[in-house]
Structure 1
Amino acid sequence: MSEADRPSALIPPRRRLLKAGFALMTLAVTPLGMAQGASRILAVRVWPSQDYTRITLEGAGNLKYSHQIVKDPERLVLDLEGVEFDSVLQSLPEKISETDPYVRLIRAGRNRPGVVRIVVELKSEISPQIFTLPPAGSYGPRLVMDLYPNEPVDPLLAWMEKTARPDASEPPRSVANANREPAPKPEKRRNDSAPMITITLDPGHGGEDPGAIGARGTYEKTVTLAVAKRLKAKIDAEPNMRAMLTRDADFFVPLGQRVEKARRVQADLFVSIHADAFIKPQARGSSVFILSDRGATSTAARWLANKENAADLIGGVNIGVSDSHLAKTLLDLSQTATLNDSMKAAKAVLDEIGSVNQLHKGDVEEASFAVLKAPDIPSMLVETAFISNPDEEKRLNDEAYQERLADAMLRGIKRYFAKNPPLARTRRA
């Protein structure tokens, strides 16, 4: 076993120090620009989550690689061919957080002429998905390492464990109130004669995919998560209601997996939350959409749907992994009952949001949003405001406005279920 392959804990401290010094001298004597035909790594990004950890290498050109899993201890070894060992790769170790559930540490170095080796020391056995992505959005060519646990996280069990923790649904607090003790939660009451209503909240975008970006630099993914957490806390405080988030932190979730998570918990309603941009900064107002199997109801609806459906291209999905429910989803899109329920729920939410913000359209709109294609769950997509409008971007960053939005959405959801209880629909096995 060469020292490049050894776990860092097994290399004597004196030897590591000498190696680091020698590498620095080599870099000082041999300018990186002298490497003939070598490509550069422009950025390294790491997105840890309970579902998986994603490591992304963005290159100036296409990246050629090979990889292997090494046992005892568990490591993922990645060799990059024709790549410069530069300051970006040297910064790899600081990218890993101690709280990362799957990665212990990461390091890189020259393995042999023209080859940079990256070693990822793991906390447990993983099943890696490694693939390349062509340029998309503001990103150049990317090499993606998705590190999934050998035993996949069960969304239902993970959600149940989180809901059992008292702090799992705490809404975000401002910096000024960060040190203040949160008010005690009221004891959740359950009326045993009524069914438990399960709602899946889907904060749009995340991780590699920032979504729309406002003029002041606000990321859509940040706003949607903040609003979703506030709404979750309010739903969880209601008797006979509970909410599950498709993501509870800043990481990427493919569109198909968002739908699958809702189906795994047998959700009674799916609400995707967004704050999109439009080609005109004057565009403003809130909107609510449901799935259309006929076509978009407006030019803006078609434009937004196309933009949201491209999220997987920006965030990066391994196209070699098939969706087991894709065929069923496409086959059952004509389920009239689900679309009718979606319209009822969307109208109730739209009416309530209209008391908080002006509406972009007075009626529920329809478009072919991929994230709404659950064949058996009433689904809606809420555009809270246009982040491309400077005034609305400012409001979306305001905690009081986020609270009012969450309150309005909750009122609409409760109105819908008051007239359409879950027992009125056939439950899934």
Structure 2
Amino acid sequence: MIKTASILQCLLCLMTLCSSFFVHSANQLGGVRIWAAPESTRVVFDLSEAPNFTHFLLTNPYRLVVDLKSTSTPINLAKLTNNSKLIKRVRISQPPSKGTLRLVIDLTKPVKSSLFSLSPTAPYGNRLVVDLDGSGSQQMIKINQPKTELRDVIVAIDAGHGGDDPGSIGPSGIYEKQVVLQIAKKVEAKINATPGMKAVMTRSGDYFVNLNKRSEIARNSKADLLISIHADAFTSPQPRGASVWVLSMKRANSEIGRWLEHKEKHSELLGGAGEIIQNTDNEQYLAMTLLDMSMDRSMAISHNIAGDVLSNLGTVTKLHKYKPESASFAVLKSPDIPSILVETGFISNYKEERLLSQRDHQNNIASAVYKGVLKYFESNPPVGSLMANKGSFKHHVRSGESLSVIANKYHISIASIKRANGLKSNILKIGQKLVIPKA
């Protein structure tokens, strides 16, 4: 009887110890992903449960310390893929208490940090997101650069989704984020090859940019237009065709539109809407600025450009709708910047998914978007822009440029350049200023 009691006591002690161990290690860190942007980095910690965490920054050397309570991990952080200019490495350090997992992010310089947790959203589970911003004063330097007398027309190009947010996934597994970035880069190249126009990308690689930040990038670049490029999806595989969207002050005017509005909210969760979650004043600010009269002007311009882009798209691909549609997308809500959203086709449709992955079709889509934008700005050039200048303008000769290259770029003859500049030979010097007469 005594032996039985003794055995029971041992079992109870063992169960208590096991219970204590599981309490201390209830959460599991199963993966770490680093998404590097040019001036910022996002680190995502994948967890089995919602994280209970604290954090603090240290200097000399610079590092961010994150303590995850009741957490353990089997992963080897030394093998972590890291392409960030802000992060030296991510490592495990001595914990302050039993059962706490202390993670240290060694930094290359001072950064601003923002941490928030996200609940499961397919295809991901619980996550702790760490946003690091290393832009500092560098961004102010860019903004304060002196203006030129005649400026380019600036077009901000936004490739939807990115990083943790794959967007829609096609029947064969193609990600929307990949397709739209490829098309966006083709639009960028066409705009940059046009005299008097310049493209600015909201993202140039596979990383997520918060929706508010996309408009901010366009605004800081003094963009005349923001184009957001996406690929549609729907609950059934039948719908096909491209469409162009403008901002609606009310609910979307179609079933597809309501589905897309829902999908955008889903994207915020996937990418981590840190700025939106933490800054509750954003909605109040937006509500106030939408009352500004500039919104009426921006929406009118957006609708005109959307019509030009849509008519060009109709020459290279099937259209889902023959008129611009309206929906309430966050990326379109800049009151001071005309904005359109181009859905290049339905990636949920097997035939269109295959088309959207083909280089020739991507180039045709990009050309159609570019031609629509060019047509509008040639007819309505902004005041003070090169496109609005009816006379001549200056070109600075760069390395590798010849008269024939410059003449071809501006669609004028070599003779007209020589005549305008009094040149007796075809020899040019790097840095030489040439007067470019109007074509």
Per the TM superposition, whether the score is higher than 0.5 is yes
Which aligned pairs between 1:168-247 and structure 2 lie closer than 5 A?
195-247=151-203
Cα separation, partners in 2 of 1:105 and 1:332, compared to 1, 3 Å: same
2:80 aligns to what? 95
State the 1:262 CA deviation.
1.0
Q: Secondary structure at 1:53's aligned position in 2? A: strand
Letter in 2 for 1:209: D
Root-mean-square deviation over aligned CA pairs: 2.6
Task: Give the distance between the partners of 2:228 and 2:85, measured in 1 at CA.
Answer: 27
The alpha-carbon deviation at position 35 of structure 1 amounts to: 3.9
The question of whether the paired residues in 2 share the 8 Å contact of 1:96 and 1:103 is answered with: no
1:121 to 106, 124, 130: 106
Is 1:55 paired with 2:15? no
Instruction: Structure 1: give runs of 5+ residues left out of the alignment.
Output: 1-31, 161-189
- Once the two structures are superposed, what CA deviation does each residue of 1:280-325 show, in whole Å capped at 9, x if it has no partner? 1111100000011233221111221231244222211221235495
Look up the match of 2:354: 394
Check the 8 A contact 1:309/1:369 in 2, yes or no.
no
Give the aligned residue type for 1:122: L
Question: SS of the counterpart of 1:63?
Answer: coil
Q: Which moved more, 1:233-242 or 1:39-48?
A: 39-48
Does the alignment pair 1:104 with 2:84?
no
Query: What amino acid maps onto 1:58 in structure 2?
Result: D
Q: Distance in 2 between matches of 1:315 and 1:251?
A: 9
Give SS of 2:71's match: coil
Q: Offset of 1:328 from its aligned partner? A: 4.4
> Which one of 254, 274, 277 corresponds to residue 298 of structure 1?
254
**How far apart are the structure 2 equivalents of 1:159 and 1:206?**
29
Aligned CA distance change for structure 1 residues 202 and 141 (closer, same or farther; 3 Å) = same
Give the number of the structure whose alpha-carbon radius of gyration is greater.
2
The answer to whether structure 1 residue 79 and structure 2 residue 64 are counterparts is no
SS in 1 for 2:345: coil
Picking from 101, 105, 130, the partner of 1:145 is 130
Counterpart residue type for residue 226 of structure 1: Q
Contact 1:255 1:371 in 2 (8 A): yes
What is the alpha-carbon distance in structure 2 between the residues aligned to residue 240 and residue 383 of structure 1?
27
Aligned-pair CA distance for 1:76: 1.2
Deviates most, 297-306 or 361-370: 297-306
1:366 corresponds in structure 2 to 326
Q: Distance in 2 between matches of 1:146 and 1:85?
A: 21
Q: 1: distance between equivalents of 2:313 and 2:43?
A: 38
Q: Give matches, 1:228-307, under 5 Å.
A: 228-307=184-263
Which residue identity is paired with 1:104? K
> Closer, same or farther in 2 for the Cα pair 1:328/1:156, shift >3 Å?
farther
**3-state SS of the aligned residue for 2:318?**
coil
Q: Which residue of 2 aligns with 1:343?
A: 303
364-373 or 77-86: bigger deviation: 77-86
Following superposition, the deviation at residue 385 of structure 1 comes to 0.7
CA pair 44-307 structure 1, distance change in 2 beyond 3 A: same
Shift of the 274–43 alpha-carbon distance from structure 1 to 2, 3 Å rule, reads: same
Task: Give the aligned residue type for 1:215.
Answer: P
User: Aligned pair in 2 of structure 1 residues 337, 52: CA closer, same or farther (>3 Å)?
Assistant: same
Matched, 1:69 2:49: no
Equivalent position of 1:320 in the other structure? 278
State the alpha-carbon separation in 2 of the partners of residues 364 and 138 from structure 1: 32
> Is this contact kept in 1: 2:111–2:132, CA < 8 A?
yes
Answer yes or no: is the 8 Å Cα contact 1:211–1:276 preserved in 2: no
The code of the aligned residue for 1:157 comes to K
**Percent of aligned pairs with the same amino acid:** 39
Check the 8 A contact 1:63/1:142 in 2, yes or no. Answer: yes
Partner of 1:136: 121
Q: Distance in 2 between matches of 1:129 and 1:95?
A: 21
Moved more, 348-357 or 321-330: 321-330
Whether the 8 Å CA contact 2:143–2:221 is kept in 1: the answer is no
Map Cα deviations across residues 56-88 of structure 1 (whole Å, 9 max, x no partner): 11211111112222221111111211112312x
Could you give the per-residue CA deviations for residues 232-286 of structure 1, whole angstroms, max 9, x where no partner exists? 0110000000000001111111111111111111111110000121111111100
Shift of residue 154, structure 1, vs aligned partner:
1.7
Distance (Å, rounded) in 2 between the aligned partners of 1:153 and 1:50? 12
Give 1:356 shift: 1.1
Kindly provide the amino acid, as one letter, of the partner of residue 230 in structure 1.
Answer: K
Work out the CA distance in 2 between the residues paired with 1:302 and 1:423.
Answer: 37
**Residue of structure 1 equivalent to 2:377:** 417
For residues 263 and 288 of structure 1, what CA distance do their matches in structure 2 show? Answer: 22
Helix, strand or coil at the partner of 1:312:
helix
Distance 1:50 1:35 in 2: 42
Aligned counterparts of 1:215 and 1:153: Cα–Cα separation in 2: 43
**Are the structure 2 counterparts of residues 304 and 153 from structure 1 closer, same or farther at C-alpha, using a change threshold of 3 Å?**
farther
Q: What letter is aligned with 2:52?
A: K
Deviation at 1:52, TM superposition (A): 1.1
Q: Is the 8 A contact 1:52 1:102 kept in 2?
A: yes
Take 1:259 and 1:334, find their aligned partners in 2: how far apart are those partners? Answer: 15
Deviations 1:81-108 (A, max 9, x none): 1112312xx2x233243x4210011112
Write out the 4+ residue segments of structure 1 that deviate beyond 6 Å after TM superposition.
none
Q: Normalised by the size of structure 1, how large is the TM-score?
A: 0.78
AA partner of residue 405 (structure 1): I
